Chains A and B, each alone.
Chain A
């Protein structure tokens, strides 16, 4: 190994800790928001689709359910959005 290489090898590899922190911040934030979502949400969405289908012709993607449980609020919000096809 040449002298130059020796010094280069010794040179610290900067920045992997920074990447570790960034990745952790993203995954931890994601896990916090998904842990708060009740486990019955997929079932609820399916049943809502079934009920609306009795009256209208919609696809299962037309019903969007979102659950929001923010720590700084003292209530949770269940948001249901139904997009209806036009002229039907």
Chain B
């Protein structure tokens, strides 16, 4: 059974695209045919993060409007055989993203044998974000340990339970997962940052993973290589753990407490 998974948040800049790329890549690496769809119409970014920007010819809106077929628009990843991306349009306006259009695209992807359809949502609660979440079976609510992000995550969780296809058809609700990103155990220790427990208390969503704040995320985007492909990196490993949990394999949380430091760095607070 194909699964539609939306990566959403309400707030912008919290790591949705980074997470969509990483988790999509991780799922595809298991051999499952996976597509990541960029719903950020007008602000295409996923192609850059996945490093395939120069191979984009057609986009999601072209497919919806019948100007290109799915096969023409899908960009195949160069590293993982079973991974594809469906880019966002850079030029059209958001109204082009109709519910009927999105339904047709998702049906076509399912018919084509895709097992995971990852929807990278734009920020906000407008048309683009609502269309990204409408057909979701599962949702990954991406949250930074910061007040506005947590509040927006709560809002978007409400939307998932009231404005999705599953809610409107009174089916089993969208399965919602919490992904905390840009977590800094040092700052949590100093009580400057909301902790995992704090966020859990407020949102009450099942925790899928915690991705530490990491410089490797920027270098990964510079290279156009999803950070999960860098298994030297804490962020890459944390994304791999999240993918494993998504697939049902329990994994202990890592990188959520302060690393033991050497004597010198301890007294100098490095």
Residues of A within 8 A of B (CB): 10, 12-18, 20-21, 23-25, 27-28, 31-32, 35
Residues of B within 8 A of A (CB): 146-147, 150-151, 154-155, 158, 188, 190-195, 198, 201-202, 269
**Minimum Cβ distance to chain B for residue A82 (Å):** 32
Given A21-B202, A31-B154, A12:B194 Cβ within 8 A = no
Contact B155 A10 (CB under 8 A): no
Interface contact A15-B150, CB-CB below 8 Å: no
- Residue of B whose beta carbon sits closest to that of A28: B154
Q: Give 13 A-B pairs besides A12-B190, A28-B150 with Cβ atoms closer than 8 angstroms.
A: A10-B269, A12-B191, A12-B192, A13-B192, A14-B191, A17-B188, A17-B191, A17-B193, A21-B201, A24-B150, A24-B151, A24-B194, A28-B202
CB < 8 Å neighbour of B198 from A10, A17, A32, A35? A17
- Interface contact tally, CB-CB below 8 A: 47
Residues of B within 8 A of A32 (CB): 154, 158
- Interface SS of chain B: helix
CA distance A16 to B195 in the complex (A): 12
> Is the CB–CB distance between A17 and B194 below 8 Å?
yes
* Smallest Cβ-Cβ distance to B268: which chain A residue: A10
- Pair A28/B192 contact, Cβ less than 8 Å: no
